Amino acid sequence: MKPAVKRAFTAVALVLSALAAVSFTLAPAGAASPAPERSITELAIGGARLGLGAGAYVRVFGKPSRVDRLEDGLTRLVYQKVGVEVYLERGAGVAVNAFGRGFRTSAGVGPCSPAQALKATYGNRLRKLPTSGPVSLYLFGRLVFRVADSRVGAVVLGRGALARVIAGNSVDCGRR
């Protein structure tokens, strides 16, 4: 091996060793993993996008407190302490349901927010979906806001009828 190539390999090895030492120093053994992100966007909830596999959601939210096998081949990963559920179809995420108090849009609306705050913030950009009973559903892009008892109970990121069914049947914030 030529001396210049050998020096380049040595330099790369030293840089990688330094990076490993820094990451070990910043995350000592037994340290708690960072708290999951709590943002709600039309692309992700808590940093979790649709279409990922179960392992990716475990990396984002941690180990689920429960895994439910549902009808039509759906699997639900329940993260009780975080206040979120992930729905998988054929191994890929098709919906994320946030019911935990800490989740918020950039405008500050999320589970447990007053329904008036939702309506004042998004106004005519919200589309009220037909429902029966005391629950109302509002569509904003790919987000479905569940409203019951004058407050936002949950926010579901998903597509089509499935997101609406999940939102309509979700528990409300702080009630699980």
Confidence of residue 81 (pLDDT cuts 50, 70, 90): very high
The least confident of 11-15, 50-54, 93-97, 163-167 is: 11-15
Confidence of residue 173 (pLDDT cuts 50, 70, 90): confident
Helix count (H) and strand count (E) of the chain? 4, 10
Q: Is 8 left (phi over 0), alpha (psi -120 to 50) or beta?
A: alpha
Interval 95-108: pLDDT, tens: 999 999 999 999 99
User: How is residue 87 written in tokens?
Assistant: 């729905």
Interval 30-47: pLDDT, tens: 334 445 689 999 999 999
For 73, which DSSP code? G
